[in-house]
A and B are shown apart, each in its own frame.
Chain A
Amino acid sequence: MIRTRIASLTAKFTRKSLRLMGKGATTLPGKLALKISPSAIRDLSKGKNIITITGTNGKTTSSHMISEMLTSMGYDVINNISGANLASGIATTLICEKGTGKGEKIYVLETDEAAFAKIAGDLSPKVSVVTNLFRDQLDRYGELTYTRDCIANGIDKTSAKLILNADDSLVSSLGKGREDRSVFFGIDKECMKSNNVKYPAKKGVLEASSDAVYCPDCNAKYEYESRSFGHLGNFRCPSCGFQSPKERFGIIYDGGVSPSMDNYPFSIKDNASGKTENITLKIPGSHNLYNTCGAIAAVEAIEEILKNSPNDGEIFARACDAQQHVKAAFGRMEKISVGDKNLCILLVKNPVGLDRSLSFVAESTDAAALMLCLNSNFADGKDVSWIWDVDFESKAEDLPDSVYVSGQRWGDMKLRVTYAGCNVTDSGDMSKVMDMLKEALDKCPAGKCVYVLPNYTSMLDLRGRLVNELGLKDFWK
């Protein structure tokens, strides 16, 4: 503990110094602290209420939702919302973030999948959410089954209540042998059946293949009664019988109306209490139905633990109510007003993310133009060939007529979009991106929206340019 105390002091001093220099200081203080005291995370986590969120997509959005919900319910929430989700960032958050001092403290920590395996035991979270597992920069993360096993190892070092996506075979299999502490969420099975697959593959072209369609235990191909997207769906292994578990929290929605609209109305059923709550989707997009439901399940779980109360539906009702206070986070479905038009930036980092965002734009009623930005810096993954894994073909007809392409690898993206059947209006590297964006906004009718889908570093680049050239300030906070 002495070492950890010294480590904490060092981290706090470093943070202050860095902040004076105008730096964010979200990871370096924690990095130093862990150097001085390798057990810092364990020592600092003792006695704390911690929720971890891990998985490929939706970590930041889910953490953000859970944080806003708990805050509105009167808790003092501390999180690593700046996305510093490795051990260093989490140590920084545990040491340096103070909270408001009002209400019981809860730490909401977004945790990288690989980091989770290493630090889950030290963090000993009370609640642990696993959103989904999709292919993401395989050269950095390795194979999906490996990632799943890492998470399983991490989980086994904790006694956390597990909030698991029932429709994701890789995630729901984490509940095997851990049934007593698993809570499943997903799309209500009957509802999924009636809304089966929105975008069938374009005629003549094989559908883009999804991951994990074979049972890892039997090597038999899963049979799907219905699907939502990617490999998510109501699956069953014909060999061992493992199937999408009955969800406690089930999403019920009308697939005839697009979840791309603001305040999309849907409901969630708590199968434990039998109660159904009607809510509106605060961050649009069909994948956010999952994120919302997972967030509600996490809030319910932490409250049941802290209040030691039964699941009689009362917490559920309050959690659903709190969900209505959630606002979008930057780069995640937020619309920014530019004069009488809108600009919407959707960060896309991997095939399923781009697939979902394209569906979102294709289904939205206000899309005037689409811009895609593709960089290949280290943080993005050097390999851009994943854009060919995305099913552009089935959505091309519903995308706006004006398509712009930018980023370091604009040529690759232009070719991809062209092969899908879209006409590219203009293209060029990031030095040209603002000119193209201004043109798109100029041509955009009042009340309509220009959708920009950048990958990670092109989003950071674009963010800087928007601040400098359009005078938008701090809108991502």
Chain B
Amino acid sequence: MNKLVIGHFYPDLLNLYGDRGNVLALYRRASLRGIDVEIRSISVGDPLGEDDIDIGFFGGGQDSEQNIMASDLIEKKGPVIKNMIESGKVFLCICGGYQMLGQYYREHDGSMLTCLGALPHYTEGKKERFINDTVYEFTLPSGEAITVAGFENHSGRTYLGEGEKPFMKVVTGHGNNGEDGGEGAVYKNTFCTYSHGSFLPKNPKIADILIEIAMKNRYGEDYVLPPLDSSVEDEARAQALDYIEHGKEQMI
């Protein structure tokens, strides 16, 4: 039986806005294909080896909680994570996790938060938060563009660095910074986004891409992910997109 290990980083601290839904989506879509999936918690003080996991996941946290894990991330696990990213390990990083892998986070009052520096992007904090339903366009490896539904809630404006490309194109919402139309970042097999919560559940094609890359990493380039029904996921995305386009605030 094929195996897949998902490392959930700091699940007891970085757990805002339903980010664990992404882990549940990876678990489900891999398990239903007969893959033996293990989810491992990797938190403050836990050891980390480069080959311990196939997919790494970082969610977003509250400021006070990010302060608790920042030194563990940067000082203890940082060097290993950097090697993993460079060697093509699969990562998915949401919001705070995305920001923390970058160079720095400058708060709107000017104070600087040091970040891991595994990726070249940096983030400027602003007072106004971007809080809304979002629609993005994602281009599959085949070249086909698909519509993706999400939700963003962030005050940071992120600017990509050399070697990084936007993960998706903004259709509705603000994305990285509200200026350049880019959303998230891709570097090798590390995917970052501001989209919280049910990002992978409602967008199963992206979940499948992550699983397939991780399986190819483990079992070789010839590995092909078996097909899997996505009708409930597709219905949920269609309903969300319909609500984003036509839904109205209801006065009761």
Contact = CB atoms under 8 A, between A and B. Distances in A.
Nearest to B243: A408
A221 interface: yes
Contacts of A418: 232
Contacts of B25: 419
B236 A412 contact: yes
B143 to A, nearest CB: 28
A411 B240 contact: yes
A383 B131 contact: yes
B24 A388 contact: yes
A419 B196 contact: no
Contacts of B129: 139
The contact size tier of chain A is 35 or more
A377 B249 CA distance: 5
B133 interface: yes
Nearest to A209: B15
B73 to A, nearest CB: 14
A382 B250 contact: no
B100 to A, nearest CB: 17
Given A138-B62, A457-B250, A386 B17 contact: yes
Interface residues of B, number: 52
B74 interface: no
Contact of A209 (B11, B24, B31, B67): B11
A298 B198 CA distance: 41
B252 A457 contact: yes
A389 B18 contact: yes
Nearest to B64: A145
B201 A419 contact: yes
A388 B201 contact: yes
Nearest to A418: B232
A415 B238 CA distance: 12
Nearest to A417: B232
A383 B38 CA distance: 29
A408 B247 CA distance: 8
A206 B8 contact: yes
Contact of A378 (B236, B240, B249): B249
A253 B11 CA distance: 32
Nearest to B199: A385
A209 B19 CA distance: 11
A415 B233 contact: yes
B27 interface: yes
A205 B24 contact: yes
Contacts of B20: 206, 208-209, 388-389
Given A139-B131, A408-B247, A389 B238 contact: no
Interface in A169-207: 204-206
B237 interface: yes
A318 interface: no
A219 B68 contact: yes
- Among B24, B27, B28, B247: residue with most chain A CB under 10 A: B24
A244 B142 CA distance: 57
A460 interface: yes
B27 A219 contact: no
Contacts of A205: 24, 27, 39
Interface string B119-152: 0000000000101110000000000000000010
Contacts of B153: 139, 383
Given A219-B68, A412-B202, A214 B13 contact: yes
B12 A213 contact: yes
Contacts of B41: 206
Interface string A234-276: 0000000000000000000000000000000000000000000
Contacts of A382: 131-133, 151
Contacts of A216: 64
B237 A411 contact: yes
Nearest to B31: A204
Nearest to A143: B62
Contacts of B202: 412, 415
B16 interface: yes
Given A388-B197, A409-B240, A457-B252, A383 B12 contact: no
Interface in A374-408: 375-378, 382-389, 393, 408
A378 B247 CA distance: 12
Given A143-B64, A412-B202, A375 B250 contact: yes
A418 B232 CA distance: 8
14 contacts: A221-B12, A221-B44, A376-B243, A382-B132, A384-B151, A388-B20, A389-B18, A409-B239, A411-B243, A412-B236, A414-B232, A415-B201, A415-B235, A461-B252
Interface of B: 8, 11-13, 15-21, 23-25, 27-28, 31, 37-39, 41, 44, 62-65, 67-68, 129, 131-133, 151, 153, 196-198, 201-202, 232-233, 235-240, 243, 247, 249-250, 252
Report the 10 A-B pairs with minimum CB-CB distance, sorted nearest first. A385-B197, A411-B239, A388-B21, A388-B18, A385-B18, A415-B236, A411-B236, A209-B15, A460-B252, A143-B62
Given A383-B17, A411-B243, A415-B198, 20 more contacts: A205-B27, A206-B41, A208-B20, A209-B11, A209-B12, A214-B13, A219-B67, A376-B247, A378-B249, A384-B198, A385-B18, A385-B19, A385-B151, A385-B197, A389-B20, A414-B232, A415-B202, A416-B201, A418-B232, A419-B21
